[in-house]
Structure 1
Amino acid sequence: MTIAVLAVASILHAAVGVFAAFAADEPAPPIHAPSLSPDKPAPTVNRICQLIEANAEAHGIPKDFFARLIWKESRFDHNAVSPVGAQGIAQFMPYTAKERGLVDPFDVEQAIPASAGFLRDLKDAFGNWGLAAAAYNAGAGRVSSWMRTGGFLPLETEDYVLDITGAPADDFAAGQEVVNRPLDPKLGFHDACRSSALQRSPCHGSSRNLGAYSSPEISAAASPSTNGTDYASNLPPFLQGTIRLSAAFARQSAGAESMRCA
């Protein structure tokens, strides 16, 4: 009898652990990999913001939008590696880096210009920066299919576009363009970029809130991009809708909490 009870308890414990991991919706901890040029010093936030501004201007990208996208991708961590292998500050997958001629994705001097050029090409292909951001995250093929056949983008991509632009992806599919929102209306771009990157949430230890922008004018980056599997897309349509409504409510609650803790 005792053995049977222990066995049942063990099974329940394992099941609860699996459910909790799924319900928490936390990305795996970031992995770090060395640059292909290990002798180079780590980039400063000042240099990262300079590169973002210069390359945004060179490619006609709204610089506040570009800063939010890079922040969402990696929180300016030049050595970040996602659970699926996206690399560096701009989170290039190896095959995309090769296609774009990016030799070292961990070198911000290479990765940020490559990211800007890639975004410019995506904008030219899809017509606006919101859809360019969606394609940067989910892939151009996935976004093209979504626009052609309808349905849903991956939940991660919907969150990604909303976090960066402040508007849902559906708005951009309908032809809306990104509305320019300064990182901080009281500061110039460079100072706002630096201060946004350096301000961290003091009241939460989880990766979900650690890097959230503190200014109310900035859409908080809830977590770095993971380019992971969107489980909801594999479910029946009526369940997808229910899950997405729940996720939207959770995002709203998490955003309010981030603002209180910032």
Structure 2
Amino acid sequence: MKKTKYDAIFKKAAKKYGVSESLLKAVAKAESGFNPNDVSSAGAVGVMQLMPSTAKELGVKNPYDAEQNIMGGAKLIAAHLKKFNGNVRYALAAYNAGSGAVKRYGGVPSYCKTYVNRVLSYKKAYETANAVG
């Protein structure tokens, strides 16, 4: 996987929140294709596709600002990883559908499986690229 113009921000966020850089990049690729101006049909905004209310809770003042958005997304992923005892699949499902959905379903909801698998595939590609490059 090629480098992004936000690599320094991903590295900073990974270090600050203790989340793998490859996981953060994989989420951003799946969510927005690294587009800071992307807005989903549900209203999620920016590189990490934060919902406005979630962005506010995370202290993100401008969700269109790539650095704020990536830092907020990293903080949220770290919280989900902590909540689900380091289970990356559950944390990704919670990032996509909310932690309540994961708890109600007792795991990854069926409607999140494609998303989770896509992110994990991207993550593996970033890890392979980092090992090679």
Tell me the CA shift for residue 179 of structure 1: 7.6
Residue 85 (structure 2) pairs with residue 133 (structure 1): no
> What's the CA shift for 1:116?
0.7
Matches within 5 A, 1:87-106: 87-106=45-64
Q: 153, 157, 172: which is aligned to 2:109?
A: 153
Q: Percent identity?
A: 31
| Match of residue 114 from structure 1 | 72
- Per the TM alignment, residue 146 of structure 1 is displaced from its structure 2 partner at its CA by 0.8
The higher-RCO structure (CA 8 Å, 6+ apart) is 2
Matches of 2:25 and 2:53 in 1, distance apart? 24
| 1:1-262 → structure 2 map (5 Å cutoff) | 45-46=4-5, 48-127=6-85, 128-147=87-106, 153-155=109-111, 157-166=112-121, 182-184=127-129, 185-187=131-133
What's the secondary structure of 1:144's corresponding residue? Answer: helix
For the aligned residues, what is the CA RMSD? 2.1
Q: 1:158 to 1:51 in 2, by over 3 A?
A: same
User: Closer, same or farther in 2 for the Cα pair 1:62/1:180, shift >3 Å?
Assistant: farther
Instruction: Tell whether the 8 Å contact from 1:62 to 1:180 is kept in structure 2 after alignment.
Output: no
| Greater fraction helix | 2
Q: Provide the residue aligned with 1:246 in structure 2.
A: none
The structure with the larger Rg is 1
TM-aligned CA deviation for residue 57 of structure 1: 1.8
Amino acid at match of 2:120: T
Q: Is the 8 A contact 1:52 1:63 kept in 2?
A: yes
Displacement of 1:154: 4.3
- Give me the TM-score of the superposition, normalised by structure 1: 0.45
The runs of at least 4 consecutive aligned structure 1 residues that moved more than 2 Å come to: 178-181
- Aligned residues, how many? 127
Q: Which amino acid is 2:98 matched to?
A: G
Stretches of structure 1 that go unaligned for 5 or more consecutive residues are 1-44, 167-177, 188-262
Taking structure 2 as the reference length, the TM-score comes to 0.86
